[in-house]
Amino acid sequence: MAGGGSESGAGAPSVRNDLSGVVNGPAFQVGQIHGGVTFQVREEPRAPGVRPDQVPSFSGRFRNRRTETGRLNELLDERRDEGASPRPVVLRALPGMGKTALACHWARSVGDAFPDGQIFVDFARLRDGLGADVSEALAMCLRALGVADAYMPHTLAERANELRSRTAGKRLLILLDDVQQPAHVRALLPRDAGSLLLVTSNQDMEELALDGAELLALEPLDAEVGVQLLSDFSGRPVPEGERDAAVRLVELGAGMPVALRVLGARLRRNRRLTWGALAAELEDENQRLAGLSDGRGNSVSVVLATAYRELAPEQAHAYRVLGWLPTRTFDGGTAAAALGTNAEEALGLLDALTRAGLLNVTEEGRYGFHDLVRLHARERAEAEEPEGARRVLVERVTTHFLALTAFADRAIRADRLRIARLTELLDASVDPFTGPSAPPPLAWLVAERDTVLAVLREANRAGLHAWVWPLAEAFTALFLHRRDVRAWRETLLLGADSAAEAGEVAAEARLRSLLSRPLLDLDEDERARTELERAERCAELSGHTVLRASVAEFFGRYWDRHEPPRAIDAYRRSLTLNEEAGEERGAAIAAFFLGCAQDAAGEHLAAQATLERAHAELLALDDLRMAARAEAAIGAVHGHLGDDALAVAVLRRAADALRAAEAGHYEAETLVRLARLVERTGGDQATVREYVARAAGLWEETGHPEAGRLARWRDRLDGGGVNG
């Protein structure tokens, strides 16, 4: 099956579906699709009044760390003192020493001290990005505090300022896990000392001490606590005569909880294995991972190597291959795809690795390796798997996520313009987004955002360009509904460059024109124009009429900002091309943007005619959301023409339609326009107050930057004043 060509739209080039010759695009082998969607994700707060509760629960018994928890409690008491300055607390230790467990355990135990909630940011999940990990960390905090992506500040400085504003006067705990750079800590410091920033890191953070940070170093577990923890993990008390062997096991595991967990799993699985026999086995182990020892010849690699030898051949193969996965966590379907097996067999292997203590299970039922265990698994894979095995894994996993993401994209909106031809792939796969118990496709995309990004990056590194661009195209469905502009920018850059490498001019045109959207949002206007000009050339070469119309529409949005008369020309061109191709929805949307541009240029009568046409066509297509937007634009035109009564009536209908379509942002804009119009014409102040209050509530729910101004207007109306 070919990966190029168009799935819909007149004027599309034909692509030969013949695997015996040269394939234009990837041959997606349907046998590579395994498993399905495992869907469970914490709901994000939708309003400032919702208390975030994101710190993961600590599972299992927590041993000792009395010194560290005592100091954390002292710092908590100091934070309550009047006049104290905010300062971060950093837990530093080698990997595997239990920093995250301690931080989560303590945070959960003092939850009442933070009535405004607890926020958790896992920096390890963000580090594969293009240097934007701290910016995305700020966005995660702001989302937890009620800021919707539509109103998310774009620059790092703006996000840091917004975080300080939103944490003012609050008592929050923000836990940053696995931070690598001191600058990232500074950017996320809350406004007031009533909040606490708790950080875990395996890096040197001494320079933060100059900022007043408290640095707490975690040492290896001592013999007494280590033996207790080993007994917990094994489910076996230490026999009286094997106390010395148990102490030696703690020493050989370098006092690291991650190593003791694996040793405990060995003892739990084999009840005939004595503590002394296991210690002797470790003493004889010569394989060591450089840099992971305690300096006295004891290394976690000793523990991992012996546990690895205990695995059955198929379990050892799964351990190695899954260590290559580019994602921090994964579900059973992804594991099945990676291993080239079915879901039942994959789950059996995952269960075996979990019982061996090599794999962790998250609260959401996903699987993941500790960083040190993943390092060992990858080292064994490089040594033992055949040449080319890693590329095979990446191809399988990318194909798996391409199918899932394409299904989600189509479930969200079936009639969107698409270039990738995925018919054969999707026909041979099960759509997980159909049926009464199916996960919501947009929510699945949100939950898997980091995973899909990681897969895109890894596939790009592997040179799988014919896989990257279709995945980037499908994944953009997420960003059309949730404006995470930096991630969208990265996705489209990867996709556009891969399309160019694959020689897919239609795909390159589509992705570069889409790329102009996040670039304009980020005020990278010149780069946006460059991408649009290249997209225009590629679209002309493709001969794809609907694609040429789409690129013209995107160019119109650029000209709206820079040369409005050229925007009108661009929208007219888009409208004409869509009409030539018989693309009704594309023509209706082009007419909507054309009418808005005409109104902005003072051509109000022309705008009215254009927008009324767009409104009628969108209603006929059952696109109620866009039809309501067109009706709101018509109401604005009536106001510009001086027919205030008609403007009010039309805007009211549009606001009701937008509410029914759950388009809160556009409903709020329409209500603000209504309120200003009614107030300007001397209308009922109670009605003005009703509109302003509703709009303020909508924008407060989503963190709109104008929410505060509207709230002040509402308060002035309550006090008998007017909008100033």
Give pLDDT tens digits for 667-716. Answer: 999 999 999 999 988 888 889 999 999 988 888 777 777 777 888 888 88
* pTM flag (> 0.95): no
Strand 360-361 relative to strand 367-368: parallel, antiparallel, unpaired?
antiparallel
Compute the C-alpha angle 178/182/186, nearest 5°.
105
Pick the CATH number of 223-309 from 2.102.10.10, 3.10.20.30, 3.20.20.70, 1.10.8.430: 1.10.8.430
Give pLDDT tens digits for 366-390. Answer: 999 888 788 889 999 999 999 999 9
pLDDT of residue 63: 64
CATH 1.10.150.130 fits 313-385, yes or no: no
Distance (Å, whole) CA 251 – CA 246:
9
Write out the two tokens for 496.
């556009």
Q: What integer is the mean pLDDT of 648-676?
A: 93
Q: Please name the residue that has the structure tokens 């045109």.
A: 509
Distance (Å, whole) CA 185 – CA 207:
11
Q: Where are the alpha helices (DSSP H) in 340-448?
A: 343-355, 371-384, 389-412, 423-427, 441-447
Name, in order, each residue with C-beta under 8 angstroms of 148's C-beta and a sequence gap of 6 or more: 701, 702, 703, 704
CATH 1.10.10.10 occupies which residues in the chain?
Answer: 313-385
pLDDT band at 293 (very low <50, low <70, confident <90, very high): very low
CATH 1.10.8.430 occupies which residues in the chain?
Answer: 223-309
The pLDDT mean for the chain works out to: 85
Distance (Å, whole) CA 368 – CA 358:
9
pLDDT of residue 11: 36
Half-sphere exposure of 32 (CA within 13 A, CB side): 21
pLDDT of residue 312: 94
From 185-199, 457-471, 540-554, the region with the lowest mean pLDDT: 185-199
To which CATH superfamily is domain 66-217 assigned? P-loop containing nucleotide triphosphate hydrolases (3.40.50.300)
For the ranges 89-103, 285-299, 477-491, 520-534, the maximum mean pLDDT occurs at 520-534
Residue 415 has pLDDT above 70, yes or no: yes
Burial 663-683 (b: 16+ CB within 10 A, else e): bbebbbbbbbbbbbbbbeeee
Helical axes 66-79 vs 99-109, angle rounded to 10°: 50
CATH 3.40.50.300 occupies which residues in the chain?
Answer: 66-217
Burial 272-291 (b: 16+ CB within 10 A, else e): ebebbebbebbeebeeebee
CA-based torsion, 631, 632, 633, 639: positive or negative: positive
